[in-house]
Amino acid sequence: MDIIMWHKVLSPYVMAVDELILKFDSLRREFQEQGQYCPIEHVTGRVKSISSILDKMAKKNIPPEKMEEQIEDIAGIRIICQFTEDINRVASLITSRTDIELVEIKDYIRNQKQSGYRSYHMVVHYEVNTINGPKKILVEIQIRTMAMDFWATTEHSLQYKYKGQIPERVGSRLSNAADAIISLDSEMSSVRDEIMDAQLSSKLRYNLVEDIVNTIESLYRMTSKREVEKIQEEFYRIYQSGDVEELVRYHHQLDLIAQAYHAQKNRVDEGIKISEE
């Protein structure tokens, strides 16, 4: 392939990575806005460097004209989860999408690599719209827990340092670390429900406070400063108590107060309008 062609060939892959990161981030926000537990902790992506592509072509004896067909991970998305159980849920969310076509699954969690590597890979087709028209490309989506990602990142760095020939003493320690990662994920799963409840409670509290503050700000435009200060003092008292149930009740009560002030203001505005006529 001519050197001048590389960036032209890789441009759609950059587009695909950017679009998919945005879509998965939007999905994560949708879960949060609806007060639901989100199986996606965070999302990253990258397009393989030219040097990495050349290395893979040489290693697997792939001719330039077969590069896009035979290298499945030129575009890569990594989705990090908190718990092992979340991985299957994320995979189901992906396969249910109409804009992503599943090509292949590589389950390195059930079928752990000899090195200790564990991750769930999905090779998919994703279509981007370029200036030359639509183009369907291969994308590899990796789904793993935070613990799996920590191990894999460390192992990748060592593979790079030792040029794929990790010394036995280092490999043995990596293997022990992989066993520890399995134990850690198992322990985290055992307290998954408690962690999810705590996170949802924290998110609920955050949303309630945001709504209450916005409502109090709107009341400044509809009633006296003294009245609003009394409402504000009550909010601070409840917030400092840390009682979420009382905060929920106050949120509902404040909504009723705000509705009453809005109705009163509308009647006044309507009266002014009639008198002007």
- Catalytic residue ranges: 140
Question: Which neighbouring-strand residues pair with 44?
Answer: 78
Q: Which of 141, 145, 149 is nearest to 19 (CA)?
A: 141
Taking the C-alpha atoms of residue 48 and residue 41, their distance in angstroms, rounded to an integer, is 23
DSSP per residue, 223-274: S-HHHHHHHHHHHHHHHHHT-HHHHHHHHHHHHHHHHHHHHHHHHHHHHHHH
Quickly count helices (H) and strands (E) in the chain.
9, 5
Judge whether 210 and 247 are in contact, CB under 8 Å. no
Taking the C-alpha atoms of residue 82 and residue 147, their distance in angstroms, rounded to an integer, is 8
Q: Whole-angstrom distance between the N-terminal and C-terminal Cα of the chain?
A: 78
Phi and psi at residue 119, to the nearest 5°: -175, 160
Phi and psi at residue 73, to the nearest 5°: -115, 30
How far is CA 84 from each of CA 52, 74, 188, 216, rounded to the nearest angstrom? Answer: 30, 26, 9, 42
Phi and psi at residue 171, to the nearest 5°: -60, -35
Judge whether 250 and 237 are in contact, CB under 8 Å. no
DSSP per residue, 118-184: --EEEEEEEEEEETTEEEEEEEEEEEEEHHHHHHHHHHHHHHHHTTT---HHHHHHHHHHHHHHHHH
